[in-house]
Amino acid sequence: MASTLFRTIQIHPFLLCPTALFSGRNGVLYCTMKSSQTQTATQEKQQPPKVKVPQHALKKTVDKITRDYEAIIGIETHVQLSTLTKAFCSCPYNYGSQPNTSICPICMGLPGALPVLNSKVIEFAVKLGLALNCKLSLNSKFDRKQYFYPDLPKGYQISQFDIPIATGGYVDLDLPLEFGGGHRKFGITRVHMEEDAGKLLHSGNGDYSQEIISPTSIYSYFSKHTVDLNRAGVPLLEIVSEPDMRTGIEAAEYAAELQRVVRYLGISNGNMQEGSLRCDVNVSIRPVGQSEFGTKVEIKNLNSFSSINRAIDFEISRQALLHSQGQSDQIVQETRLWEEGAQKTVTMRKKEGLSDYRYFPEPDLPEVILTHEYVDSISNSLPELPEAKRRRYEKMGLSMQDVLFLANDMNVAEYFDATLSSGADIKLAANWIMGDIAAYMKNEKLSINDIKLTPQELAELIASIKSGTISGKIGKEIADPVEIGKMIDKVISENPKQLEQYRGGKTKLQGFFAGQWWFRFVFAGLRPLMVTPPARKVMVVADPAPHSAAALQYALSHALLEQDELILLHVENTSSWKNTLTTFLKRPTIASAANAMTPNNFSGPDWGSTDINFLDQMKYASEIAQPKIPVRIEKIDPDGKDKATVILSKSKDLGIDLIIIGQKRSLSSAILG
């Protein structure tokens, strides 16, 4: 019968997807496979479901399941690997690229093309096998999985059948507190390597069978229905779990843990929306106390963890209702789709058995042989995995809510660890990251790698709050980019002349604007911890006169930071400065200097002596007021030159960033130009 039928079909090799054209009296009828969604919709229109699950009955059904039935759930997870090239050829794969732009004869399954295994696929498979506590197969092989589908150009998939690369593992996880909490351990049956298939692309009204009566209609059809082979040959790792899960939330958390593991390992981005992590769920139910499994149903089209949870809960309810109505024979082994809009599962196709795939060893690829040295080297390179990180955080005294949040994202965990390494309090660091920083990232749609606040700066901020230097409210304002932006806008609006000069090409004024913004924090008694400025050389023009004392006092109390260097420049003849210095040191704004002047602490120059150089006195006063700031003295003879010219020339030679002048206005104007 099949031979007779095929002889009546004219095959057209120029078409990318399987097609057949039957000749007719009034034209040509084009036939092809319908998509599963359209086929399902047509079947449901023609054959209304025998059993409906009313929405108002779902809660009652779930309650009955809890009492009388037990769900058995297993998951097959496909992880797309982040290799530079495909599994068996040198073609790259970039998500979202134009269709059929990353293909070659090997991808397309053309005759004579031979596959060559990408060694990174083996490395990533070993990493995942170790991370999932599996036993590795030191000798494994590839097999051909035979099946027909339009997006499978070879007519078979290269996979692993009876000797997978890893078997017999498990994964540990903690359920969120809102779902009851608790620790779970789920078994891993196997991890095996395989290649991905292509992708069918459809647009238009979804009518996949139509009468074609002209070349124009043929072109119109193929402009709406195409196959993209960019994904064909992309390496996958399939993870098959044991049927250890009992609820939808357990299954969703299991899938989320796998996503965390592959991201920690760096073998996949794990993005479900891109298809980098795809889950097929197998669900069956049985009466409580029964050891024999029920008939399992596979659910596909699950593109989020929440959809996994909801699809399983619906399917459990559907099967339980059939059991309760005495129609358990209607639960057949099949593949069903989860329809997000309708919030239900619908039939896609009858489930194929293993015999349908006609596995046999791949003749074009050699065995995969692992050495103990190779496995050990990969094992030693593994990072701290999510489970180990959660246990470490738990030992720090953090709550389970904190632990789950911080360990969920590897980058957040690294940020938290770096903050602790900078000396931050454990609980305060966790609160800041989980609170204000997380809210800011959510509002601005940023990752923690995108924010400007470094772990060291956050640790400084926390230390300032903890010591009482600043309040928590002020700390949040300091760390708030919006507040910093407002200050920058105010500095610009208050300096229109300098802004005009800067726009005119005087780019050195950039330092002026940065200084103005910086001093706003300093005058307020704060230091911005969001941005740490580079070390500067600050020069004070020193003379034995009151205005020099005032300049030095301003520099020490308002301008200098711990990372800066202070240079005292003198361009006149030295003379006694005892009275001026004594007055300066006793000013209450420099408390440390005033305290140092008490008889018990006195250890500096002899203030009563007229032989003391005023520059040494200024240096000593600076070291008392700001002991962490290095101070040095520079002297220069003007040699008859203009004083402003001499100061500018010397500052250029020394690489000075900031000059503080306590001189007459005429000198300041001359220096500023």
pTM of the entire structure?
0.65
Model pLDDT, residue 68: 86
Residue showing tokens 């400084």: 460
* Two tokens, residue 161: 């059948």
Model pLDDT, residue 559: 76
548-561 per-position pLDDT tens digit: 888 888 788 777 87
Q: How far apart are CA 260 and CA 281, in angstroms?
A: 19
473-496 per-position pLDDT tens digit: 656 656 566 666 777 777 788 888
653: enclosing H helix or E strand = helix 643-654
DSSP annotation of 663:
S
Nearest to 308 by CA among 299, 316, 317: 299
Alpha helices, H only, 144-247: 215-224
Q: How far apart are CA 302 and CA 109, in angstroms?
A: 29
Give the number of other Cβ atoms within 10 Å of residue 197's Cβ.
Answer: 21
* Two tokens, residue 452: 């400007």
Query: Residues 6 or more apart from 245 whose CB is under 8 A from it?
Result: 71, 73, 74, 75, 186, 251, 254
> What value does the CA radius of gyration of the chain take, rounded to a whole number of Å?
37
Query: Residues 6 or more apart from 266 whose CB is under 8 A from it?
Result: 82, 383
DSSP annotation of 134:
P
According to DSSP, the residues that pair with 76 across neighbouring strands are: 240, 280
Q: How far apart are CA 280 and CA 255, in angstroms?
A: 10
One-letter amino acid at 467 equals S
One-letter amino acid at 635 equals K
Q: How far apart are CA 256 and CA 548, in angstroms?
A: 66
Q: How far apart are CA 319 and CA 333, in angstroms?
A: 12
Residue showing tokens 């305290």: 595
Given a contact cutoff of 8 angstroms between Cβ atoms, the answer to whether 206 and 224 are in contact is no
Q: How far apart are CA 116 and CA 427, in angstroms?
A: 52
The 344-350 sheet, strands edge to edge: 135-136, 166-174, 183-195, 235-241, 69-80, 277-287, 297-302, 334-339, 344-350
Q: How many residues in the chain?
A: 673
Model pLDDT, residue 55: 55
Given a contact cutoff of 8 angstroms between Cβ atoms, the answer to whether 461 and 436 are in contact is no
Give the number of other Cβ atoms within 10 Å of residue 55's Cβ.
Answer: 9
pLDDT more than 70, % of the chain: 72
* Two tokens, residue 187: 């078994």
128-153 per-position pLDDT tens digit: 999 999 999 999 999 999 988 889 99
**What are φ and ψ of residue 116, in 5° steps?**
-130, 125
Assign 614 a pLDDT band (cuts: 50, 70, 90): confident
Residue showing tokens 């034995």: 544
* Two tokens, residue 69: 């039935």
Lowest mean pLDDT segment, chosen from 10-24, 33-47, 628-642: 10-24
Lowest mean pLDDT segment, chosen from 389-393, 651-655, 662-666: 662-666
Q: How far apart are CA 343 and CA 387, in angstroms?
A: 33
Q: How far apart are CA 100 and CA 185, in angstroms?
A: 42
Alpha helices, H only, 274-328: 305-324
Give the number of other Cβ atoms within 10 Å of residue 40's Cβ.
Answer: 18
92-114 per-position pLDDT tens digit: 999 989 999 999 999 888 999 99
**What are φ and ψ of residue 55, in 5° steps?**
-60, -40
Mean pLDDT of the region 40-60 = 51
Q: How far apart are CA 188 and CA 167, in angstroms?
A: 7
Nearest to 535 by CA among 421, 629, 402, 406: 629
Nearest to 430 by CA among 454, 403, 392, 469: 403
Q: How far apart are CA 148 and CA 109, in angstroms?
A: 13
Nearest to 173 by CA among 188, 189, 184: 184
441-459 per-position pLDDT tens digit: 888 788 999 888 889 988 9
How do 297-302 and 334-339 pair as beta strands?
Answer: parallel
365-415 per-position pLDDT tens digit: 999 999 999 999 999 999 999 999 999 999 999 999 999 999 999 999 999
279-333 per-position pLDDT tens digit: 999 999 999 889 899 999 999 989 899 999 999 999 999 999 898 888 988 999 9
Model pLDDT, residue 595: 40
- Work out the end-to-end distance of the chain between its first and last CA atoms, rounded to an integer number of angstroms: 101
* H, E, C per residue of 423-460: CCCHHHHHHHHHHHHHHHHHHHCCCCCCCCCCHHHHHH
186-245 per-position pLDDT tens digit: 999 999 999 999 998 877 554 444 444 455 555 565 567 789 999 999 999 999 999 999
Assign 60 a pLDDT band (cuts: 50, 70, 90): low
Q: Is 569 strand, coil or helix?
A: strand
Assign 167 a pLDDT band (cuts: 50, 70, 90): very high
Model pLDDT, residue 246: 94
Query: Residues 6 or more apart from 211 whose CB is under 8 A from it?
Result: 27, 28, 29, 30
DSSP annotation of 630:
-
Residue showing tokens 């008939």: 295
Mean pLDDT of the region 651-671 = 71
* Two tokens, residue 615: 């520059």
Mean pLDDT of the region 506-535 = 57
* H, E, C per residue of 503-559: HCCCCCHHHHHHHHHHHHHHHCCCCCCCCCCCCCEEEEECCCCHHHHHHHHHHHHHH
Q: How far apart are CA 499 and CA 324, in angstroms?
A: 79
Segments making up each domain of the chain, as ranges: 2-39+481-672, 56-377
Assign 58 a pLDDT band (cuts: 50, 70, 90): low
Q: How far apart are CA 614 and CA 633, in angstroms?
A: 11
Model pLDDT, residue 596: 39
One-letter amino acid at 10 equals Q
435 or 234, which is more confident? 234
Range from 19-23, 120-124, 285-289 that averages highest in pLDDT: 120-124
Average pLDDT, whole number, for the chain?
79
597 or 224, which is more confident? 224
Burial of 37 (0-12, 13-18, 19+ CB in 10 A): middle
